[in-house]
Amino acid sequence: MPSPADTDPVRLPSGPLGPVLALMAFGLYATHDVLIRILGETYNIVQIVFYMSLLGFPMLVLLQLRDPAPVSLRANNPGLMALRTTAVMISGAAAFYAFTVLPLAQVYSVLFATPLLITLLAIPFLGEKVGIHRGLAVVVGLIGVLVVLRPGGGEFSLGHLAALLAAVSAAVNSVVVRKIGRQESNLVMLIYPLLANVAVMGVAMIPVYVPMTLADLGVVAVIAILALVAMNLSIAAYRLADAALVAPMQYSQILWATLYGALLFNETPTLFTAAGSVLIIGSGLYILFRESRRNVSANTPVLRSRLRDGGQA
């Protein structure tokens, strides 16, 4: 059974419905990130990840009950599955930490570098050939990352490093899913990262544990539900419309970040964040455009990668 992150289903005529569903999905993801930011003011991020993963199990069971086909829990590619699991854990924890210490728009700007990194990693992982056009787009996008991060400019912090680590690990996850997604069941692709997060974060939170109120546990449950609904909306969007129309909708998160940041946290994007975002988003869109053309990409790794599905970043 193919993974939802790597399925190429028959697409139905949808008009604007596919992109609209994608916009809704990324709006929910942005709300999900804001709630993490709010919880992060009280609780350590490893505790939040632990409870989110723990609450994810009942949802996973409900999803599995909808599929009558028997499924094995044994991975067909144990090494690559271990790599994906590690990447999902790192990307989730790192992104969540970045959201708690940096302005929302700044975090998204760095995370938007993920498609650029997927393009690079697809060369060794998928045997993808990257020509001069996409190569230059990657260079321009990475310059944009440097503009946002401003290393040596006095503002680079552990939060910036965490955001960059989240982007790199999310890119690793995406290319691994693209490579093995058709060989593994949905359950295997989802349950291993959940189990790993519960085990690893459960141990890591022991020295920093703070009892959670019932209200805050309710917020964690809302975060988990938002992630589940957003994931399913994203999958539906890809089923209803071409990836070239759906994938660019991820960049709408910068608008949500700016809105939420201004309304809730009194944040205003700096000139460096805005300029870097233009370079990163422009490069990402150009890569999506190039991949959507025939005879340019054998694997279309960025178009086929749903950056928020199957993971937490």
Full-model pTM: 0.88
State the residue for tokens 């409870």.
51
Digit-coded pLDDT (tens) for 181-225: 888 887 888 889 999 999 999 999 999 999 999 999 999 999 989
| pLDDT at residue 111, rounded to an integer | 95
- Written as six digits, the tokens of 45 are 């991020």
Q: Across residues 121-145, what is the average pLDDT?
A: 92
- Please name which of 242, 292, 302 lies closest in space to residue 11, comparing C-alpha atoms: 242
Whole-angstrom Cα distance, residue 134 to residue 215?
47
Query: Contact, 226 vs 32, CB < 8 A?
Result: yes
Query: Contact, 183 vs 72, CB < 8 A?
Result: no
Query: Contact, 237 vs 29, CB < 8 A?
Result: no
Query: Contact, 102 vs 210, CB < 8 A?
Result: no
| pLDDT at residue 11, rounded to an integer | 46
| pLDDT at residue 307, rounded to an integer | 67
Q: Which helix (H) or strand (E) holds 158?
A: helix 158-180
DSSP E strand boundaries for the chain: none
Digit-coded pLDDT (tens) for 3-47: 444 444 444 444 688 899 999 999 999 999 999 999 999 999 999
Digit-coded pLDDT (tens) for 41-84: 999 999 999 999 998 878 777 766 666 666 677 889 999 999 99
| pLDDT at residue 4, rounded to an integer | 44
Whole-angstrom Cα distance, residue 250 to residue 92?
17
Whole-angstrom Cα distance, residue 263 to residue 210?
28
- Please name which of 63, 95, 52, 116 lies closest in space to residue 305, comparing C-alpha atoms: 116
| pLDDT at residue 183, rounded to an integer | 86
Digit-coded pLDDT (tens) for 247-288: 899 999 999 999 999 999 999 999 999 999 999 999 999 999
